[in-house]
Amino acid sequence: ADWRVVAAAAHGPGMYSVDPGPFRDLATAHLVSGAPDLLSDREERLLVGKLLQARPWDDFAGELGYHSTSQAMRALGDALRPLVDAYGTPAAQAELSRFTE
């Protein structure tokens, strides 16, 4: 995965729509790993709907119970953080530190 793009989206300034491939790879890695404690069911549905199925925000955000599209977009960034931490390479960790320090 292009960890720079993923880490930037997980911590605010990046957008997954610029290069969706690394995000699909990360979502797939998580879903096949079977790690049950990293994300809630709702967060996993968000990953599937946005990153794997590319569903439009407008209808999908409401289906998952988000009050707005922007709330759902923030939730996606929040869901990416533990995934980058769990599955990221040393390069991912270095990129994360740029946003967290």
Q: Is the pTM of this model over 0.85?
A: no
Q: Render pLDDT for 19-61 as a digit per residue (tens, 0 to 9).
A: 788 889 889 999 998 777 899 999 999 999 999 999 998 889 9
Number of domains in the chain: 1
Please tell me the predicted confidence (pLDDT) of residue 97. 74
Number of H-type helices and E-type strands within the chain:
6, 0
**Alpha carbon distance 45, 53 (integer Å):** 10
Q: Residue 80 pLDDT more than 70?
A: yes
Pairwise pLDDT comparison (13 vs 85), residue with the higher score: 85
Q: What's the mean pLDDT in 8-16?
A: 66
Tell me what pLDDT residue 30 has. 92
User: Which domain, by its residues, includes 50?
Assistant: 3-100
Asked whether the predicted pLDDT for residue 6 surpasses 70, the reply is yes
The answer, yes or no, to whether residue 17 has pLDDT greater than 70, is yes
Q: Are 6 and 81 in contact (CB under 8 A)?
A: no
